[in-house]
Structure 1
Amino acid sequence: MNPTMLAAILMIPFLFLLLARRKVISQKEALLPSPPRLPFIGNLHQLGSIPHRSLYKLSKQHGPLMLLHLGSVRTLVVSCPKIVEEVIRNNDLVFATRPMSKLMDVLSYDKNDIAFAQYGESWRQRKKIATTHLLSSQKVKSLSFDRVEEVPLLLENVVDAASRGNGVICLTEILNSYVTNVITRMVLGSWISKEKKTILSKLSHDSSPLFYEVSFEDFSPNLKWLDVLSGLDRKIESYKKNWDALFEDIIKNHANESKEENGKNNTYFIGTLLDLQKDSSLGSTITNEHIRGLTMDMIIAGIDTTFATLDWCMTELIRNPEVMKKVKEELRKVAQGEDMISEELLGQLSYMKVFIKEVIRLHPPAPLLLPRESLQECQIQGYNIPKKTRLVINAWAFGRDESYWEAPEQFKPERFFDSTVDYKGKDFYFIPFGVGRRICPGMDFSMAIIEIALANLLHRFDWNLPSGITIEDMDMDEGGGVIAFRKQKLELVPTASMVN
């Protein structure tokens, strides 16, 4: 028999197997659960004003791995820890990048940051700089002087506001001011004026709702003109110009900021970056754009997530008086009659730490983790996932998964007693700061700010709702945006505690 003919006959079974495998993959892709969609816009109309809640409801109907079509963009939504574990263990590198969009370009300072920029060698170098030189435990500890100096100012603001408002204060606004002050000070230096801090705070908060603005160009390039008509292009351009103007002032004025202040080493983040820019031994080049992108990350991500968590902490304490009592008793025991709780004492506050964990379980600062995008074709749960598919992880849903949490809707810090579960990314059902290569490197930075403020606010004051307001009157919904701020501002009545 002709050798070519023989080879062809022997190949026939393999061809059938290959065709069968392709058919299975095609069927798997076709069967990927997906809500019905409308022409042109797909499932955009189903995101709602609070997307993480809308997607959670959809996942109850269509499953924990769900395909949405946001315009022309294929988007996988994951609402199950088990699936995320599979993604990270098998395809973390595949989903290591961010999707391109007009807003992402602005928030990444033209792809020069670490939070929003796309994956690659330059991104890896920037992340290494951030984790080694900006957000290491040693660096966070070295800035304790700045945190400690801001706490008495926070307490004074509480007293001053109470004296001017018939005892009732808007604690949300005071907490926002405190977080803005301490983060801008640690990132930029103490020269930043009150006016500049106000602008930075506004730009930080504006980024959250802006993130969910629909850009028609991103979902259908031929409709770029609609972004002009809707005013989105003008809004984005104005946002970018405000940052540009601020950075010009920041870099120019930094030269006047002394690194030695009151005998303390105050090498702020931007100073560290400018010093590294001149360091020829670093092994990589740091441009002015890199400095702006990294600084922008520290301000946007730092202010919003830290402030939102601190505000939720005080809200849950008011709603759970028994928890408040336990936290205050622990503080009284640890303080031993001192007026202030120092950073050295924070390590002894075991109950307060599990309380904070419970807060971010129910109220993760970024309930939908920033979207990822597949760099190549891969498989998840047996489904074929094409290249350039977006991945959205609903971390808010994870905190309500009954497979991992007993009575998940109950606020119960004790669930973390005698537990090794932590938010550092190893426990896939508790990932409020992300997971894998794209995990937020600023967790310790944020927690240090939250713990010292919370400890002293509770040690120095007793807190109650204004007369006529009950716990049932408190609205626990989040505002729309990538950061889950509580929609309703927190108004409380502080009274001085007996600390001895």
Structure 2
Amino acid sequence: MLHSSFIYVLPFIFSALIFFLTKWIFPSSIIRKHLPPSPMKLPILGNLHQIGLYPHRSLHSLAQRYGPFMLLHFGRKPFLIISSAAAAREIMKTHDLIFSNRPKSSIGDRLLYGCKDVAAAPYAFRRKYSGGESGRKFKKMLGELTELLGGFNVGDFIPWLSWVNLFNGVDAKVEKVAKEFDEFLDEVVEEHLRESGSYLSEGEKDFVDVLLEIQRDKTDGFSIDRVGIKALILDIFAGGTDTTYTVLEWAMTELLRKPGVMKVLQNEVRGIVNGKEIIKKEDLDKMHYLKAVLKETLRLHPPIPLLVPRESTKDVKIKNYDISAGTTVITNAWAIGRDPNIWDKPEEFRPERFLNNSIDFKGHDFELIPFGAGRRGCPGVLFAMSTNEIVLANLVNKFDWSLPFGARVEDLDMTECTGLTIHRKVPLLAVATPTSC
């Protein structure tokens, strides 16, 4: 009789046990979470194995299967991948404050002075650092810096595999680049300190002079140490040079591939300049096709295709998806620029699409966000684009351009390099013929 009763009671005991496990071991907050779509992950690696040499392309391919809100795991760390203008708006506008943090990076911490830098890009260091042997060395250092910052450091995602960088050379390269940049920036600071005794006027002071003045006078109670000054200078060198010439290189590449577009641009610029030696701001304001060419270049070739990552500071629900605090967010500006739901024939270089189109790159239109948007958008965007406009206008005004050695435009190598900023893998070679303008 007892045995028979136990058989009937057993299902109730089992149900009670399941309830207990569900209630106490697996909290209801976890069970009820509605997470974004996610591809299957491997133990330990998560989804790291699905990221190839060109992460912006790999993530774009995955997003085409799993959608514009996609959850990946690199090691144990969750990453929310954003691949549409609507999704970017949620992160950079609707929930901008929640996603205003930056995730930690061990390589960035070592290269960027403990991540004391900010995103800023004004110029005037009093002298140029681009000429001669020192200029070639600086360019090489800058290339190595962006390559390291744009790489995937396995130790950030799987801490117990950090030792790998001791054997693959990454740690040694990081230390070498950090040391070279530190010595270079020390010399920049020392040079300004030596000249500070000459009592420069306000109009003669440059960015470094102002920083040193703040350090000396503790302006408005704000203090900054030498490490902070070097971090800010590094931001300006990296943000104000590397991304700018990347845009110009891709713009000239596309113009050489499209001689008809080049001709339209030259006619506009030469017609407005009309033989003047110097192109002024009021001239640039009239060059609508020039601005369209640069917008189209930024759409197809954003210099930083995966915008600098953000990190959520608290739990939040977006589009019915639950996003946990501490989730890293990567916005694929490259994918958004190629979204066929936004752009007609997105793979074609067609500046005309922007002539009767109000979409701009200043952070208000999420269809075109090469500089990001919101609180963590690039504050140097106006400087960068002013530089691009004046340089490109002068290049097409004063020279006719062609490929060397009779090369055909069809044979122009469009392969990208790897790293934080996406340059051409093969440097662009072109023949400049001076005009009589």
Which TM-score band applies after superposition, normalised by the shorter structure? 0.7 to 0.9
Residue pair 1:42, 1:72 contacting (<8 A) in 2 also: yes
Equivalent in the alignment of 2:430: 492
**Structure 1 residue 495: deviation in Å?**
1.2
User: Residue 73 of structure 1 is aligned with which of 55, 61, 77?
Assistant: 77
**Structure 1 residue 440: deviation in Å?**
0.5
Return closer, same or farther for 1:68/1:259 CA change in 2, 3 Å cut-off: farther
Equivalent in the alignment of 1:393: 331
Q: Is 1:99 paired with 2:37? A: no
Return closer, same or farther for 1:298/1:471 CA change in 2, 3 Å cut-off: same
One-letter identity of the residue aligned with 1:26: I
Q: Is 1:436 paired with 2:374? A: yes
RMSD value, Cα: 2.5
Q: Is 1:408 paired with 2:412? A: no
Return closer, same or farther for 1:191/1:38 CA change in 2, 3 Å cut-off: closer
Residues 388-446 of structure 1 deviation map (CA, whole Å, 9 limit, x = unaligned): 11100000111111222222222221221233211110111110001111101111221
Equivalent in the alignment of 1:254: 192
Return closer, same or farther for 1:260/1:323 CA change in 2, 3 Å cut-off: farther
**Structure 1 residue 64: deviation in Å?**
1.1
Equivalent in the alignment of 1:368: 306
The separation in 1 between residues aligned to 2:310 and 2:38, in whole angstroms, is 19
Equivalent in the alignment of 1:108: 112
Equivalent in the alignment of 1:456: 394
Structure 1: 5+ residue stretches without partners = 1-18, 116-129, 136-182
Return closer, same or farther for 1:205/1:474 CA change in 2, 3 Å cut-off: same
Aligned positions of 1:94-493 closer than 5 A? 94-115=98-119, 135=122, 186-187=124-125, 189-190=127-128, 194-257=132-195, 265-493=203-431
Residues 367-404 of structure 1 deviation map (CA, whole Å, 9 limit, x = unaligned): 10011111111112211111111100000111111222
The separation in 1 between residues aligned to 2:31 and 2:334, in whole angstroms, is 32
The separation in 2 between residues aligned to 1:86 and 1:59, in whole angstroms, is 17
**Structure 1 residue 217: deviation in Å?**
2.3
SS at 1:69 equivalent: strand
User: Residue 55 of structure 1 is aligned with which of 44, 49, 59?
Assistant: 59
One-letter identity of the residue aligned with 1:423: F
One-letter identity of the residue aligned with 1:415: R
Residue pair 2:129, 2:135 contacting (<8 A) in 1 also: no
The separation in 1 between residues aligned to 2:173 and 2:99, in whole angstroms, is 30
SS at 1:495 equivalent: strand
SS at 2:65 equivalent: helix
Among all aligned residue pairs of Structure 1 and Structure 2, give the percentage whose two residues are the same amino acid: 40
Equivalent in the alignment of 1:64: 68
Equivalent in the alignment of 1:170: none
SS at 1:310 equivalent: helix
The separation in 1 between residues aligned to 2:178 and 2:420, in whole angstroms, is 18
**Structure 1 residue 317: deviation in Å?**
0.8
One-letter identity of the residue aligned with 2:54: I
Equivalent in the alignment of 2:9: none
**Which of 1 and 2 has greater Rg?**
2
Residue pair 1:28, 1:382 contacting (<8 A) in 2 also: no
**Structure 1 residue 188: deviation in Å?**
5.5
The separation in 2 between residues aligned to 1:326 and 1:255, in whole angstroms, is 49
The separation in 2 between residues aligned to 1:109 and 1:195, in whole angstroms, is 26
The separation in 1 between residues aligned to 2:266 and 2:198, in whole angstroms, is 36
The separation in 1 between residues aligned to 2:133 and 2:389, in whole angstroms, is 27
The separation in 2 between residues aligned to 1:375 and 1:264, in whole angstroms, is 41
The separation in 2 between residues aligned to 1:281 and 1:253, in whole angstroms, is 22
**Structure 1 residue 282: deviation in Å?**
2.9
Residues 11-58 of structure 1 deviation map (CA, whole Å, 9 limit, x = unaligned): xxxxxxxx9xx86973543x5211222222121121111110111111
The separation in 1 between residues aligned to 2:64 and 2:107, in whole angstroms, is 30
**Structure 1 residue 276: deviation in Å?**
2.5
Residues 299-340 of structure 1 deviation map (CA, whole Å, 9 limit, x = unaligned): 112221001000011111111111111111112111222244
Equivalent in the alignment of 1:39: 43
The separation in 2 between residues aligned to 1:325 and 1:192, in whole angstroms, is 31
Give the TM-score, by structure 2 length.
Answer: 0.87
SS at 2:70 equivalent: strand
The separation in 2 between residues aligned to 1:406 and 1:26, in whole angstroms, is 42
Residue pair 1:247, 1:292 contacting (<8 A) in 2 also: yes
One-letter identity of the residue aligned with 1:32: P
The separation in 2 between residues aligned to 1:249 and 1:368, in whole angstroms, is 32
Give the TM-score, by structure 1 length.
Answer: 0.77
**Structure 1 residue 258: deviation in Å?**
7.6
Equivalent in the alignment of 1:144: none
The separation in 2 between residues aligned to 1:212 and 1:348, in whole angstroms, is 37
